[in-house]
Every structure is written in structure tokens, then in C-alpha cells.
A and B are shown apart, each in its own frame.
Chain A
């Protein structure tokens, strides 16, 4: 008896769910509705049709910015406390966590607390976070130097937050979105490029901490793997 009822529940609700699908499809006039999502995660419907060949056809050089083991440029940029900061100021550093980030991007904001925690963990070990705002401009109240100062104070950033006022450093590194991380070793050689972890929206649901793993690899004298990751982020506004 129980089995029948439970089965009934499942079937009944399944119908309901099916109706929901149909409603949604109808409402959206989905002309592609014959194309159902793949049944299995590995059963990708992708590439073969429509002349789609998912190959990296551009090199990192063509994309612009640094390749692995390139020596990243040092700089002299203004910190929110008014002082000028260079990587060479950090005489004890074993590496540098250079993060291009900004005030207003929701993805940048979601990572602020994680960057603070990272700095507090790794700066004492010789890997300070160096945050750079590539979008700083006096033409936008929310990305002005004053707004950066306010954000740094409000969030009590333990790391420097530098203004790339001439927008020269970000293109040299190849920073295209915020946040965009470049992990450098002691000699400023680029060892990891990419994202902080695999879940911007929810720190507690993170499965892979790409950046932390890369820092640990440097610390252990091994090569970060992966050394290149991607993420959705806000565009770096050039110029």
C-alpha cells in the first residue's frame, strides 16, 4: 500500500513538473525546444554542428599580457593611503598575489572577504596580496580614487589597494576582467593566471581553491596545476 502511494506521489509530481516544463517552453516560444538538454553530464551536445571547433586558436601573447615564466613588470602606483607602492618594497616576499579588482563589480565584491582571509594567511608566509584597480577613473564616482579609499576603509583591507591611474600596468599584465589574479614568484616570474576559486557566488560551496593551491605549490617548490583558469568577471575598461 505504501509503495503504491509513494509511487503515486512521484508520478503525480512528475507530471506536474512536466507541465511546468511545457508551460515554460510555451511562454518562451522556445523554437529550439526539440533540443533537449543532454541526459548525462558527459553527453555533450556541443561541438560537431555549426562549424564549431573548440580550440584555443589564440596564444596568450595574442590575447595580450604575460605568458608563463615571463618576468612581470614592477610598478609604482598610488596606494589608498597616499603612498607610492612597488613590488620591490616587499623585501621579504617569496611571491606576490597581484589581483586586479575594483570597487563596484559584484564578482570583485564577492571575493573581498576571501582576499582578506588569503592575505591574512599568506602575507606572513611571504605572499602578500597586492590589489590593483584597473578601472580607476575620476569620471565615475564609484571607481574614483576617493571611492577606492572609502572601500578600503569600509572593508578594512589589510592589503594595499593601488590605483592604475594611467591604465598602463593592467594591459601589460593582460588583466581583462575583475577579479583577475597573477601569482608571481620571488623573481616576479608569472606562475599562475586566473581565478581565485571555483565558486564566486558562494564561498562555502567552493570545491577547488585554485589560487591557494597555486601558492602552496610555489611554497613547496612545485609547479601550480592548473596554472591557468578562467572565470566570469566584469570587463576591465581600457583607457
Chain B
């Protein structure tokens, strides 16, 4: 059925087949070493996370390890998430993908940052900053508070947990 001359050819193809998948597998393992995988998004894959169909309160904070005021206010989000388990808190890091394993994960562990963290790596920020909020200059930190009905944008540091709580109330409950 199989022509003898084609056997080496088939073997080569099979080798390519195996090599292709092995490579893929290696990549998969690399991205899920620990239980705390940090997904790297571009703007298009991040954007759906900035909207919701539900009434659940969402807080999305854009930050980075290199941004001192951002690091200062992280405990505020951690505390808010603990006090309000029904709120979805998402921390969007603008750190560098190469630093995820060596710097970001150790940083999150050391600081006890428990809310979900994803990374946004999309070079041409001028093309997507306005799609998030045209009034955002691009400076960090930047926070969005929203559910399916209301949303508010904050290009500033929250001074305290109380400050953040008030802004959430104002946004979600129109208080």
C-alpha cells in the first residue's frame, strides 16, 4: 500500500509532526508553571474585561511595579476586595512580560496582593488609551469602576479605603 520509497519521507513528516507539538507543549508548560498564571493581554483581548453585562461591581486598576504611587495604593484594592468579596477586582499591570516570573510574581507574593492580576502588553498606547477613556492622559495609576449600568474613571491615587468606597458608592448607587 505504501510505496517503499516514500517511507523516509513519511518518517520525516512524522518527525516534523512530533517536533511541532513538542514545541507547543513546552510553551504551554512555560505559561502555567504555578497556579498563579498571569495572562498577557493585548488591548483587543483586554477590552472585554473592561465591560460587563452583570450588576456586579467591577474595579479595574491600571498600575505597574515601577509606578510608586500605584504600589502605594495597591493595599487599598486588596482591602476592598477582602471586604467586598462580591466585587470583581482586576489589577492590570503594565509591567514588562519578561519580568513576570523574576519580578512580578515575587512582588505580588511579598506584598500579599490577592486580587486577579493580568498584564497588558500593547506597544502603541496612543491607539488604545482613548478607547478606554478619552480623558485619560496615559499616566498611571488609572482606575475604572463599573457595572452594566454605570461607570466612572479615575486618573489619580485613592487616598484611603474610605475614598475608594465613596467613589464606588457614587458610581454604582449614584450616592
Contact = CB atoms under 8 A, between A and B. Distances in A.
Given A27-B35, A54-B131, A234-B67, A46 B47 contact: yes
A233 B51 contact: no
Contact of A49 (B21, B44, B53, B131): B53
B160 interface: no
Interface stretch (A2-10, A77-85, A159-167): A2-10
A80 B45 CA distance: 44
B69 interface: yes
Contacts of B146: 50-52
Nearest to B34: A27
Interface string A3-44: 001101100110011011001100111011001111001001
Interface in B1-37: 6, 9-10, 13-14, 16-17, 20-21, 24-25, 27-28, 31-32, 35-37
Contact of A44 (B31, B39, B47, B69): B47
Given A32-B52, A235-B69, A177 B123 contact: no
Contacts of A154: none
A176 B137 contact: yes
Contacts of A50: 51-52, 146-151
B118 to A, nearest CB: 8
Contacts of B133: 54
Chain A, interface SS category: loop
Contact-residue bracket for chain A: 35 or more
B21 A205 contact: no
Interface in A71-116: 104-106
Interface stretch (A123-131, A145-153, A214-222, A224-232): A224-232
A205 B123 contact: yes
A45 interface: yes
A172 interface: no
A198 interface: yes
B24 A16 contact: yes
A8 B69 contact: no
A19 B24 CA distance: 11
B140 A41 contact: no
A136 interface: no
A106 B146 CA distance: 30
Contact of B39 (A24, A46, A63): A24
B97 to A, nearest CB: 9
A37 B135 contact: no
A87 B44 CA distance: 42
A236 B139 contact: yes
- Considering the complex of A and B, which 6 residue pairs feature the smallest CB-CB distances, nearest first? A56-B134, A177-B139, A35-B48, A37-B45, A5-B13, A199-B123
